[in-house]
Amino acid sequence: MQDSNTIHYGVLSYPSKNGYFNLGDYIQSLAAMQYLPRIDSYIPRDKLNSKIEEKTIVIMNGWFTHNPENWPPNDNILPLFVSFHLNSHVAEVLLSKKQNVEYLKKYSPIGCRDINTVNFLKEKGIDAYYSSCLTTTLDFKYKSKKRTEDIYIVDVLYKNDYKSLYRRSPVRIIPHILKGKFSRRNERDKIIKDLIPQSLLEKATYLTNSYRSKDYTSEERFTLAEEMVKKFATAKLIITSRIHCALPCLAFGTPVIFVAGGDLNHPNEMSRLKGIIEHMNILSTDNIDLDPSIAKSLTVLNSENIDWNNITNPSSYKSFSDELKVKCISFISE
């Protein structure tokens, strides 16, 4: 066994986007942190080729990357690739570089969060397999026997939350007027009221994964993520359109409904959701465009017939979650 004092342990950190950060990124890193004996450094996900002095173990899970030109990662990173995701436009750029393909081959097999990433890698001759998402293992550290009466609604149909977008970025108003989107600014509120009973809307606490970057240090962002995860672990019900709110709930046995629809059903969004939404209860505002093999395995609920007090999560995630735990524990011990 490797002496843990002779090597460093790092966890991925993330850049801001338009002055905000996504707490879901930090929840993904929190899942990786469960398996590390300590954290010696934060490794910027989008600057993996930056200078790193020490040999540093990093679990490379999550969404990669806003800066594919910064690949391959520094040689001092000792990576475990599980729950790895490449968006379609990023994959085209990153995998066009022979050096990156050879790097991924070196550390294969690559565990992928979604089916499309598996296919992108295999097309380049890289050994890859579907691993599911590491956030489904958050019960490794954060499982709770407590169950409260708390109901949380988290960023439902956030892709269509134009009113919040305009508050943050008023310059988007004019382009949206020209595209005809501005007139849809109140649609989201109406759809939510049609999908979710008024009694639940009134009882619920509303949370978000989007926070202003200037308000939180890196350490505070991880603390915020941990507080959020602990809420999920004890809640009565979660209703969300954020995958990194829904997937941890599977680990905790917390009843959860993933609301799809609107801009979230765009093909680019579906490219990252294939291999994820099959493990969740889906409530969709419109048809989900997936190939038949995946569509057959979806648990799609009808809002008119839901028994909101007796939501049972699918269990298909469990075998993947168990395998991820074994893989991460083995990697760190070796």
Mean pLDDT score, 58-63: 97
| Exposed / middle / buried, residue 252 (Cβ in 10 Å: 0-12, 13-18, 19+) | buried
Q: Distance between CA 122 and CA 112 in Å, rounded?
A: 11
For residue 317, pLDDT beyond 80: yes
pLDDT at residue 2, as a whole number? 47
For residue 5, pLDDT beyond 60: no
Lowest mean pLDDT among 41-50, 56-65, 170-179: 170-179
- Within 8 A by CB and 6+ apart from 224, the residues are 23, 26, 211, 216
Mean pLDDT score, 28-54: 96
For residue 295, pLDDT beyond 80: no
Percentage, residues of the chain above pLDDT 90: 71
Q: Distance between CA 101 and CA 137 in Å, rounded?
A: 28
Average pLDDT over the chain, rounded to an integer: 91
pLDDT at residue 296, as a whole number? 66
pLDDT at residue 105, as a whole number? 98
The values of phi and psi at residue 62, to 5°, are 110, -165
pLDDT digits (tens, 9 = 90+) for 166-204: 777 887 788 788 888 777 788 888 889 999 999 999 999
pLDDT digits (tens, 9 = 90+) for 234-278: 999 999 999 999 999 999 999 999 998 877 776 667 767 888 889
Q: Distance between CA 163 and CA 147 in Å, rounded?
A: 34
Which residue from 164, 169, 165, 162 is spatially nearest to 185, judged by alpha carbons? 162
Q: Distance between CA 27 and CA 249 in Å, rounded?
A: 12
Both tokens of 27, joined, read 């929840």
pLDDT digits (tens, 9 = 90+) for 74-131: 999 999 999 999 988 899 999 999 999 999 999 999 999 999 999 999 999 999 999 9
Owner of token pair 């990697």: 331
Question: With contact defined as beta carbons under 8 Å apart, do 230 and 143 qualify?
Answer: no
